Amino acid sequence: MVVFPVAYEAPHAGVRTRALHRSFGPVGAVQGMDLDAYPGQVTALVGPNGAGKTTLLLILATLLTPDAGWVRVAGFDPATAPGEVRSRMGWAPDVLGFYDALTVTEYLDVMAAAHRIPPAQRRQAVPAALDAARLIEQAGARVHTLSRGQKQRLSLARALIHGPSVLLLDEPAAGLDPRSRIELHDLLRRLAAEGRTVLVSSHALDDLEELADDVVFVDRGRTVASHRVDQLPAHLGPRAYRVRTLDAEALTRALDERGVSAITAGPSAVDVQVFGGEQNAARLLSELVGAGVPVTAFGPVGGSLEAAYLQLTDDQAVRR
Amino acid sequence: MNGIATVAALEFRLRLRTGRWRWLLASWLIVLTVIAMLIRLSVRPTVGEEVVGYTGSFMFGGLMLVVLGLALLIAPALAAQSVNGDRERGTLAPLQITGLTSWDLAVGKLLASWGTAVVFLLVTAPLALWCLLEGGLSVGRVLIVYAVMALLIGVVCAVSLGLSAWMARTTTSSVLAYLAVFTLTAGTGVLFGILLAVTSDTVTEGTGEQSYTYNQSRPDRIWWILAPNPFIVLADAAPETPTTTIRLPDGTIIQARQDADLLGALSQAARQLRQPPSVFDVAEPAPEPGPVWPYGLGLQLVLAAGALLLTERRLRTPAGALPTGQRVA
């Protein structure tokens, strides 16, 4: 594994925004976003389409100026010190655009040259980025022959080519097969473990739960909530669990004895509503097993991120 | 400087990889060779006269006007999708967040498209050599005509590039680039023709019943409309042809300036437009009208500089207000 040098300066040289605003004509794409993405952590930026995720990332990536608000990337203001930010930040956009006529190696070499990396160092930086993105086998292939998943990895390699300390990834898992997703997660976790700030936008919620340390929910240009993933409200509040069993009668009896209401969800499964967070779910499971119910599966219905997300967007819908 | 080279080298490599350049350049040279041969065959001095050293300059003049005409068609295609095409494909923004400046991108892209166009010009060098061998043509005239042509093509590249940075859609910028070329060439001619009628004087000569009235056109008021026409700039910027030796039917030999080649004729016609109407006076002939090309080329260069500035502005990031329909990435 290749470890990139990380420029680590201030205690919090990640990504910080406060009351960030940006409009396109009459359309307010970002209308007050507060965000903290810390070094060494993967932060998920979650929200529906049109919530302003991409616009926020464009501001962070020094491509758009904010209309108002305060923003720091790797300790610098992208609007006034774009050069400082660019040398410390890598961005993988939602659009996978490359020069199709070039090979993977040639493309990364051009990008490294654009970052003003001298030729001698490029000979190391390009293979390092290829290795990190698991593209060694495709090194000599023309870009247009790559699969979508490989292009996503090339986009990541491009973002990594100059060893940035902050990574901004816009929907990096879009169009990836499950195996590629797992590999992507491994890679992002590794990059975070090296001390980098990794900010990932997505609406693939279940995926992010295993990946992210922090999650920031955005909707219609605003930050709605931010949480540590292990402290999501869904972990604490009421939540549906699906129980599978070999003996449906025994399960129904056991649930009835404990006064737990259940909805049938298929021939050998029921959904139960558990209040009071994961502690109570664990207790219910041990009681069921203790009562001799042959439980084969016990787990929350939908991810906790999904639950929190639906809850939040529900709140918004009510307020609307 | 380094950044400009990076961008230009990248663009040049992409062009080389994607197009069928060998075929394109070969057919370009073949077409022009055929045209050169036809012009060569059309050289027929007046019966009885023998013009020594005239064929080369005649061939060259005709050929260069054809080359310019075709190059003006090629240049917009090389640059008119340079910026917005990259935007559409999503390849521009990743470059903008590197160490490259907006000037690196603008100038690098201009040099790449201009360089490609110059390759087309250089391919015609054997034909120019042929003209030189035919005689009546100086190396200086050839070099200057090529240099001016390269400048004119560069202007079209710069304007096309500016349009590609200005317009969100590639089709719009392409159409506008061709319209710009059309305006400079045919447009100036049409406008001149119309305004010539509008600006003509009504002159009344004589008195009483003997008087008569007629319209006198005043091209000296509007000659500058034709000045930016690339064909006129090229023709007028070419240095004068050397004097040639002409043997008249009675056997006498005279030295005379031969401006009968197309470039020379066009140049003379353009300069004559600057001449105000005057009564012919043998004792005091009107002064020779001055050249037209400095005005035309000057205007073209100003246009190109403006287009390059516009390109740089549109490539600047972080971007403030965006034109409607344009995405940063």
pLDDT score at A228 = 85
Q: Searching chain B, which residue's CA lies closest to the CA of residue A164?
A: B98
Residue B203 has what pLDDT?
84
Which chain B residues are Cβ-neighbours of A24 within 8 angstroms? 322
Q: Which two tokens stand for residue B47?
A: 């019966």
Answer whether B98 sits within 8 Å of A114, measured CB to CB.
yes
**For residue B262, what are the CA distances in angstroms to A248, B235, B242, B258, B266?**
100, 8, 15, 11, 6
User: Which range of residues forms the domain containing residue B40?
Assistant: 2-314
Cβ–Cβ gap A116/B98 under 8 Å: yes
The DSSP code sequence of B227-294 is TT-HHHHHHHHSPPPPEEEEE-TTS-EEEEE---SHHHHHHHHHHHTTSPP----SSSPPPPPPPSHH
Mean pLDDT of chain A: 85
Tokens representing A161? 């080519």
Position B105 in a domain: yes
Answer yes or no: do A110 and B100 touch at CB < 8 A: no
Q: CA Rg, chain A, in Å? A: 23
Q: Chain A residues contacting B, CB < 8 Å?
A: 24-25, 58-59, 61-65, 78-79, 82-83, 86-87, 89, 91, 93, 95-99, 101-102, 110-111, 113-116, 158, 162
Whether residues B318 and A98 touch (CB distance < 8 A) is answered with no
For residue B314, what is the nearest residue in chain A, using CA coordinates?
A63
In a domain, B327, yes or no: no
First to last CA, chain A: 49
Q: In what order do the strands lie in the sheet with B243-247?
A: B50-52, B243-247, B253-257
In chain A, whose CA is at the least distance from the CA of B96? Answer: A63
A62 and B97 within 8 Å at the Cβ level: the answer is yes
- Give percent of chain A above pLDDT 90: 48
Q: What is the spatial distance between Cα A154 and Cα A141, in angstroms, rounded to a whole number?
A: 12
Q: How many CB pairs under 8 A join A and B?
A: 83
Q: Which residues of A161-182 are buried (b: 16+ CB within 10 A; e: fewer)?
A: bbbbbbbbbbbbbeebeeebbe
Nearest CA among A234, A218, A260 for reference residue A29: A218
Is the pLDDT confidence value at B266 over 50? yes
Contacts of B14 in chain A (CB under 8 A): 99, 101-102
ipTM: 0.84
**Are the beta carbons of A135 and A108 closer than 8 angstroms?**
no
> Residue A299's pLDDT is what?
83
Smallest Cα–Cα separation from A203: which of A288, A94, A317?
A94
User: In the structure, what pLDDT confidence band is assigned to residue B190 with cuts at 50, 70 and 90?
Assistant: very high
Chain B contact set for A80 (CB, 8 A): none
pLDDT number for residue B247:
73
Q: Which pLDDT band holds residue B68 (cuts at 50, 70, 90)?
A: very high
Which residues from A are below 8 Å from B3, CB to CB? 114, 116
Residue A268 pLDDT exceeds 70: yes
Q: What is the pLDDT of residues B218-238, one digit of tens each?
A: 888 899 999 999 999 999 998
Task: Name the residue among B6, B320, B328 with its Cβ closest to that of A114.
Answer: B6
- Judged by CB atoms closer than 8 Å, whether chains meet at B3 and A114 is answered as yes
Mutate to test the interface with B, among A59, A63, A91 (most CBs of B within 10 A): A63
Partners of A110 on chain B (C-beta within 8 Å) are: 6, 10
Q: What is the tens place of the pLDDT at every residue in A98-144?
A: 999 999 999 999 999 999 999 999 999 999 999 988 899 999 999 99
How does pLDDT run across B77-125, given as a tens digit for each residue? Answer: 999 999 999 999 999 999 999 999 999 999 999 999 999 999 999 999 9
pLDDT at A120: 93
DSSP labels, B2-52: HHHHHHHHHHHHHHHHHS-HHHHHHHHHHHHHHHHHHHHHH--PPTT-EEE
The one-letter amino acid code at B258 reads: Q
Residue found under tokens 């205690």: A11
Question: What is the pLDDT confidence band of residue B250, given thresholds at 50, 70 and 90?
Answer: confident
Q: Is residue B328 a part of any domain in this protein? A: no
The Cα–Cα gap between A157 and B198 comes to 65
Q: Closest Cα of chain A to B7: distance in Å?
A: 8
Residues ≥6 apart with Cβ < 8 Å to A314: none
The pLDDT value given to residue A162: 95
* Residue B172 maps to a domain: yes
Measured between CA atoms, the residue of chain B closest to residue A27 is B324
**Closest partner residue to B319 among A65, A95, A111, by Cβ?**
A65
Residues in chain A with CB shorter than 8 Å from the CB of B318 are 59, 62-65, 78-79, 82
pLDDT at residue A1 in the model = 38
Q: How many other CB atoms are there within 10 angstroms of residue A2's CB atom?
A: 14
Q: Inter-chain contact B3–A24, Cβ cutoff 8 Å?
A: no
pTM: 0.84
Asked, for residue B60, whether it belongs to a domain, the answer is: yes
- Per-residue confidence (pLDDT) for residue A4, from 0 to 100: 42
The most confident of the ranges B201-205, B272-276, B286-290, B295-299 is B295-299
Residue B39 lies in a domain: yes
Smallest Cα distance from B96 to chain A, Å:
8
Is A63 within 8 Å of B89 when comparing Cβ atoms? no
Q: Which residue has the tokens 């990248």?
A: B10
Nearest CA in chain B to A162: B98
What is the model's pLDDT at position B329? 65
| Residue of A27, A56, A94, A110 for testing the chain B interface, max B β-carbons within 10 Å | A110
Q: How many domains does chain B have?
A: 1
Query: For residue B310, which of B164, B92, B183 has the smallest C-alpha distance?
Result: B164
- Residue in chain B nearest A99 by alpha carbon: B91
- What are the Cα distances from residue B171, in Å, to A159, A170, B164, B307? 31, 29, 9, 18
Q: Looking at the domain assignment, is residue B70 inside a domain?
A: yes
- What digits encode the pLDDT tens for the residues A143-187? 999 998 899 999 999 999 999 999 999 998 887 888 888 888 898
Interface of B with A (CB under 8 A): 2-3, 6-7, 10, 13-14, 17-18, 86, 89-100, 317-320, 322, 324, 328-329
Q: How far is B83 from chain A (nearest CA, A)?
A: 14
In whole angstroms, what is the distance from residue A171 CA to residue A156 CA? 11
Residue A69 pLDDT > 90, yes or no? yes
* Residue B329 belongs to some domain of the structure: no
